[in-house]
Amino acid sequence: MTQSSKVEQVREPQWAGTSPVTLTLADLVAGQRGIVVGFDGKGSELGRRLTAFGLVRGTEITVDRTAPMGNPRAYTLLGYRLSLRNEDARSVLLRIE
Amino acid sequence: MSRRSLPITTALAGNPNCGKTSLFNRLTGAFGIAANYPRVTVTRQVAETTHDGRTLRVIDLPGIYTLNGGLPEERVGRDVIHFERPDVVVNVLDAGNLHRSLFLTIQLVEMGRPCVFVLNMIDEARGQGITIDRVALAAALGGPVVETVAVSGDGVPDVLHAVVAVSQHQVNHSAPAIRYQEPLEGAIGRVQTLLAELRPASMTPEQSRWLAIKLLEGDTEILQREGEHDRLIALIGEIGERIERDHGEDCAHMIAHARFGFIDTLLRRVVQRTTPTPSLGHRLTHRLDDLLLHRWLGLPALGALMWLMFQATFTLGALPTVWINAAVAVVTGWADQAIPPGLTHDLIVNGVLAGVGGTIVFLPNIMILFFFMAVFSETGYLARAAFLLDRVMRAFGLHGKAMIPLIMGFGCNATAIMATRTIETKRSRLIAILAAPYVSCSARLPVFILFGGAFFDRWAGSVVFALYALSVLVALGAAVAFDRVLLVADAESFLMELPPYRRPALHSLAYQVWDSVQDFLRKIGGIIVIGSVAIWFLQQYPAAPETATAQEAMAASYLGKIADTVNPVFAPLGFGHNDTIAILTGLMAKETVVSTYAVLHAQEKGSEGLRQAIARGMTQPIALAFMVFVLLYTPCLTTLAVIGRESGSWRWAGLSLVCSLVVAWTLAYATGAIAETLGKLIL
């Protein structure tokens, strides 16, 4: 599962092509604004769950705060706050504004 | 005419935290438990109400973000709407959080049932400077839009009115199909064609469109139900692969993206924001979280709040206990006088009243504990506790969300186990289910207070606190043990909304406390009375000769014989006959441990007498061992039954029973031995 998704990440999705640097949500730093450009690990249950929380292509997201020990973190998107483990945030691909 | 007499089946659907349960309570006059914590309605609730001469049968569905079927609650929601086809679906939305809320709305609209859209917490939205064009929204969604503040009841009659109107087709219901761009529409069309071929004339066009979308979204469960149609599965696979190859994105994301695109366009038309600054509520939430979710202060603050809860439970709870004791004494004294001596007298005074009186004194403690838990969950703090502790809990193989069930376990293990349904992966959930029974529930509290008071005097509070700490340690230890033993590791995630802090609604707090009171009283009226009478009977019969001493009579009774048989198991721990009997009856429910002692010592009047009688029965180390044993062995039959149901197998309930007995016996033995040795060293 993880193996195959690694392979997919190498072949960058077409629609992310406009951005020179693609980071993951886990790399987003407080104060930065990220725009979701895609997902690593297509067809996964996690990917589908994330869409229901508004994490789709084009959504703007910022870091709200970090839990003790640096994990999980809370993010602000669509006017509400969502907490995510860094492991899960890694599968969300971003472009930094 | 017959249509009019049928109840209107109405399903309430909405995101967690949207105030759906409050609305359900307001609509039906029933009282469910609302909480500012995601997914509190773990099972569906049904209640009836009337409006305008019509009966409404209202189903409160669990709070969900999507109908994609990944979680059990989502399956419940999807299946109720798809198979039971309610007359009206009431979609509750958080008016201040429309963007995300509408994702579920679109899925509901696609299911084709007539809908009423409720913009709840409209006051909060207005506070944020949001105005919503209801007419335009209603036109776009194809159903009436109603504004409410469910907590205060504002707008609730309008909801009932809209439901009745929609059910009678007074309101034109036309579900607008959301158009997806190519290649999705083409794909939906192809799946629909195949569906029509495989199952001719069994579905309306809306139903088959919905099913096609679900299948393309990768709802694996619904695809499995179509398992007999290899061609369908092959087609879905083929379409999925081609879309991914051509567009670098899977169908599910493409569909979700299209839906959010539709939502964006819609919101731009119907929502106006006057003030761009965050509202007072948001600013307060932010300030509070700066402290309560602080990277260094967050965990100590959590510890302090927990300590406050237990401290209040014991110290505040001690006051009314005196009054209850006095009242019990009055009633017992009156019964003693009023009922002529004989069998009935003994049965009532020494059986029922002793058992009930011995247990009911703990009502105040239980009320206070439940009050605090209600406040934590309603304000939104429990979600924060999960956020703070996720990383720590993972070290024990537990999920951050297991924090909530485990804290709830201090109230009742059975509800705690039901609350584990919020945990996404089966494995983490099973670990939480098996660890939960070790958390000291409120039913153990009476035993601790009684024994703590009898043996440890002014140290009682500390001893009880130590027992709670031990219960948490054992629960965590059990989690680690099960984590190591159970199956292979499983990918899991932690997706949780952090809702804004909300002031808890008084009536809801009152209800939750009242619910715990009712539950406790029901237990006293049921199992405690039955248990007490049973113990009294087994103790009285076979009748001993008049000349026998109390001890001889006891030894000859049925109870004495049962205790004789089982006692050898507990003898190494230093437990006597009475203790063995109390442990046996405690298997039904832990409260019966206290009522059993009360019946066994019915001659000693009042809780002071009971305390002294117990204090004569054992030494301090044995008392400690006994408390540890009661803490850790199987909480009650209900919990076992719930473990069996929630884990899906009785094997897990059996495992839990055996483990708890072994753990309880071993740790009780160790506690007794250590206390004994320490005692000798000190004295």
Inter-chain touch B498–A83, beta carbons under 8 Å: yes
Query: Does residue B98 sit in helix, strand or coil?
Result: helix
Q: How do residues A23-60 score in pLDDT, each as one tens digit? A: 899 999 999 999 999 888 766 778 888 999 999 999 99
Q: What's the first-to-final CA gap in chain A, in angstroms?
A: 31
Say what the pLDDT of residue A67 is: 93
Contacts for B14 with CB less than 8 Å, ≥ 6 apart: B20, B63, B91, B92, B93, B94, B101, B104, B118, B120
Q: Is a pLDDT exceeding 80 seen at residue B315?
A: no
Peptide bond into B183 cis (omega under 30): yes
Peptide bond into B568 cis (omega under 30): no
Give the max Cα distance, chain A: 37
ipTM for this model: 0.82
Split at pLDDT 50, 70, 90, the class of A4 is very low
Q: How do residues B609-636 score in pLDDT, each as one tens digit? A: 788 888 888 899 999 999 999 999 987 8
Q: Which residues pair with B152 in a beta bridge?
A: none
Q: Best interface-test mutation with A: which of B18, B78, B244, B260 has the largest number of A CBs within 10 A?
A: B260
Question: Among B231-240, B467-476, B603-612, B637-646, where is mean pLDDT lowest?
Answer: B603-612
- Joined together, the tokens standing for residue B251 give 């169908």
A-B Cβ pairs (cutoff 8 Å, strict): 135
CA distance to A28, A97, B398, B578, B595, per residue, from B610 (Å): 63, 72, 41, 13, 10
CB neighbour class for B471 (10 Å; exposed up to 12, middle 13-18, buried from 19) = buried
Among B46, B47, B87, B40, residue whose Cα is nearest residue B64:
B40
| Rounded average pLDDT over B112-126 | 93
Q: Is a pLDDT exceeding 80 seen at residue B85?
A: yes
Instruction: Concatenate the DSSP letters of all residues of B668-679 into one string.
Output: HHHHHHHHHHHH
DSSP B168: T
Question: Among B216-230, B524-538, B571-585, where is mean pLDDT lowest?
Answer: B216-230
Split at pLDDT 50, 70, 90, the class of B231 is confident
Q: How far is A97 from chain B (nearest CA, A)?
A: 20
Say what the pLDDT of residue A59 is: 95
> Residues of A with CB below 8 A from B393's CB?
none
Inter-chain touch B97–A58, beta carbons under 8 Å: no
Q: How far is B485 from chain A (nearest CA, A)?
A: 23
Query: Does residue B55 sit in helix, strand or coil?
Result: strand
Q: Is a pLDDT exceeding 90 seen at residue B187?
A: yes
Peptide bond into A72 cis (omega under 30): yes
Which residue of chain A comes nearest to B392, CA vs CA? A69
CA–CA distance, B414 with B622 (Å, rounded to integer): 29
Q: How do residues A62-94 score in pLDDT, each as one tens digit? A: 999 999 989 899 999 998 999 999 999 999 999
Residue with the two structure tokens 């109230």: B411
Q: With the C-alpha atoms ordered B273, B276, B278, B279, is the resulting torsion angle positive or negative? A: negative
Who among A16, A78, A84 is closest to B99 (CB)?
A: A78
Say what the pLDDT of residue B282 is: 80
Q: Is a pLDDT exceeding 90 seen at residue B91?
A: yes
- The CA-CA-CA angle for residues B330, B351, B365, to 5°, reads 60
Who among A56, A66, A81 is closest to B295 (CB)?
A: A66
Say what the pLDDT of residue B677 is: 92
Who among A67, A80, A85 is closest to B388 (CB)?
A: A67
Q: What percent of chain B has pLDDT over 90?
A: 30
Helices (H) and strands (E) in chain B, counts: 33, 9
DSSP B64: -
CA–CA distance, B632 with B627 (Å, rounded to integer): 9
Q: How far is B652 from chain A (nearest CA, A)?
A: 27
CA–CA distance, B78 with B11 (Å, rounded to integer): 11
CA–CA distance, B409 with B420 (Å, rounded to integer): 11
Who among A51, A65, A74 is closest to B252 (CB)?
A: A51
Which residue of chain B comes nearest to A50, CA vs CA? B495
> Residues of A with CB below 8 A from B400's CB?
72
CB B48 within 8 A of CB B58: yes
Say what the pLDDT of residue B416 is: 80
Q: With the C-alpha atoms ordered B620, B625, B628, B633, is the resulting torsion angle positive or negative? A: negative
Neighbouring CB atoms inside 10 A of B336's CB total 15
CA–CA distance, B342 with B350 (Å, rounded to integer): 11
Who among A14, A64, A84 is closest to B495 (CB)?
A: A84
> For chain B, what is the mean pLDDT?
84
Q: What are phi and psi of A62, to 5 degrees?
A: -130, 160
Q: With the C-alpha atoms ordered B63, B69, B73, B76, is the resulting torsion angle positive or negative? A: positive
Answering whether pTM is above 0.95, one says no
Q: Best interface-test mutation with B: which of A69, A76, A77, A88 has the largest number of B CBs within 10 A?
A: A69
> Residues of A with CB below 8 A from B496's CB?
82-83
Question: Among B167-181, B208-222, B554-568, B655-669, where is mean pLDDT lowest?
Answer: B167-181
Q: How far is A14 from chain B (nearest CA, A)?
A: 6
Residues of B with CB under 8 A from a CB of A: 65-66, 68, 70, 96-97, 99-100, 103-104, 217-218, 240, 244, 247-250, 252-253, 256-257, 260, 289, 293, 295-296, 298-299, 387-388, 390-392, 400, 424, 491, 493-498
Say what the pLDDT of residue B36 is: 43
Q: Is a pLDDT exceeding 70 seen at residue B140?
A: yes
Which residue of chain A comes nearest to B499, CA vs CA? A81
CA–CA distance, B376 with B408 (Å, rounded to integer): 10
Q: How do residues B211-230 score in pLDDT, each as one tens digit? A: 899 889 887 777 777 666 78
Say what the pLDDT of residue B622 is: 94
Q: What are phi and psi of B472, to 5 degrees?
A: -65, -45
Split at pLDDT 50, 70, 90, the class of B120 is very high
CB B219 within 8 A of CB B232: no
